Amino acid sequence: MALLRVFCNCAKANLPCFNAAIPRSIGSSITRINVQYAERLQMFQRQWISSKKKALPFEVNKSNIGEDILVYSHKNERFYKMLTYFGCAQFAFWAYLALFSFQTLRDAPEESPGETDASWWRRVAAQESKYKNGISVLCFCFGYIVLCISVMYPTRAVRSLWLLKGGNSVRLDTYSVLPKHRTMTVPVNSVNCLQTRADSAAQIPMKVQGKWFFFLLDKRGKFHNTELFDFSVGLKRSVK
């Protein structure tokens, strides 16, 4: 092959010594071989490039997705229901405690001028009623915060993730307080995964454009198609 390449280069350069050494017919034959060799080399290069492009079919050509594909799923209905019930119970407890504090606690009577050994909390409570009201408001706010967290967290926990036909849209199924699950469809370019599957420890935070807070993918769930997730949904994008 190396000797043939030398002959071809000499024939292409039309060197006098080479033309004098071999007949004209042989030189034209070598030139044709050189052209055929170049054409085959170009064809091999095109085939190699096309084979490399097929290594990422979901990123290069999304039309390969002819149907809705389940990418991720994690079913844990019992945990999120218990979490919601826990939040409701905590809110009821702290709301009752706030009401009890507001209705039952009374301002302590002011000490007489001769009394000097009164406890510090009686002296503080005797000044104003703001401490009683403050305890009531604090208890109610704490219970309300616990309720909001227990209700909002299931709505950001991804139950299933689908890549829709064509590869341009994603469907998210999350849990809800109601028996029916929450479903939303967003463009795949509006989804930003802050971490990859390998980097995240327990959960993968995912930001959806136009939505508050992050959506969470629990790694204890099942990734039905890891390559499809890594090359389409699991990419890091710039969204707000």
The pLDDT score that the predictor gives to residue 56 is 46
Q: What residue type is assigned to position 110 of the chain?
A: E
Give the tens place of pLDDT for each residue, 1-48.
444 454 455 544 554 544 455 555 555 655 666 666 667 666 766 665
- Average pLDDT rounded to a whole number, residues 174-200: 85
* Whole-structure pTM value: 0.60
The pLDDT score that the predictor gives to residue 237 is 84
Please, what is the Cα angle at 203 between 191 and 155, to 5 degrees?
Answer: 65
The pLDDT score that the predictor gives to residue 128 is 56
State which H helix or E strand residue 50 sits in: helix 24-53
The pLDDT score that the predictor gives to residue 57 is 47
- How many CB atoms are closer than 10 A to CB 237? 12
Which of 50 and 76 is assigned the larger pLDDT? 76
β-pair type (169-174, 182-187): antiparallel
- Average pLDDT rounded to a whole number, residues 96-112: 73
Q: How many contiguous H segments (helices) and E segments (strands) does the chain have?
A: 8, 8
Report the share of the chain in percent with pLDDT over 70: 62
- Average pLDDT rounded to a whole number, residues 175-192: 86
Whether the per-residue pLDDT at 203 is higher than 80: the answer is yes
The pLDDT score that the predictor gives to residue 225 is 86
Give the tens place of pLDDT for each residue, 53-84.
444 444 445 556 678 889 999 988 889 999 99
Q: Are 216 and 158 in contact (CB under 8 A)?
A: yes
Give the tens place of pLDDT for each residue, 113-170.
545 555 666 655 555 567 778 888 999 999 999 999 999 999 999 999 998 888 888 9
Whether the per-residue pLDDT at 95 is higher than 90: the answer is yes
